[in-house]
Amino acid sequence: MDQARFEQLKKKRFETGLSDEEANELGRLFAEQKGGGYESAEEFQTEERKEEAAALSGERSDKEADLRMDPEAMKAAAEGRAGPSVDRGGGTIGVMAQESEEVEEE
C-alpha cells in the first residue's frame, strides 16, 4: 500500500473534499489496510437496484432466500433456544434497589 498517498487522501477529505475516484481509492486503501474487500458506492447501488427489481418482479434474491425459513424450521429454532434464567430477575430494577439500600445503610 502506498502509505504517502493514503495519508494524502485522508487529509484531503477534510480539507477540500475528494472526487468520486479519490473516494473510491481511499476506500480501497482503508479496506486493504484492514484486510477486507471493498465495494464502491456505485457497485453497491447497482446491487441494490438489482435486488429492488427482483422484489418488484416477485423474485427473491439469494440474500433473501438465505434469510427466509419455512415456519416449521422457525418454530424448531425458537424452541431450541434457552429461555431466561429462573433464578435471576429481568431488567435492572432489582440491582438499582439493592444499590440504593446499600448506600442508605452506610
How would you write the pLDDT of the chain (106 residues) with one tens digit per residue? 789 999 999 999 999 999 989 998 999 999 988 888 888 878 878 888 888 887 777 665 555 555 566 777 777 777 776 666 566 555 555 555 555 555 555 5
CA-CA-CA-CA torsion sign (95, 100, 105, 106): positive
Provide the pLDDT for residue 6: 92
Domain locations in the chain? Answer: 1-38, 40-77
Q: What pLDDT shows up at residue 95?
A: 52
With the C-alpha atoms ordered 36, 37, 40, 42, is the resulting torsion angle positive or negative? negative
Predicted local confidence at residue 19, as pLDDT: 92
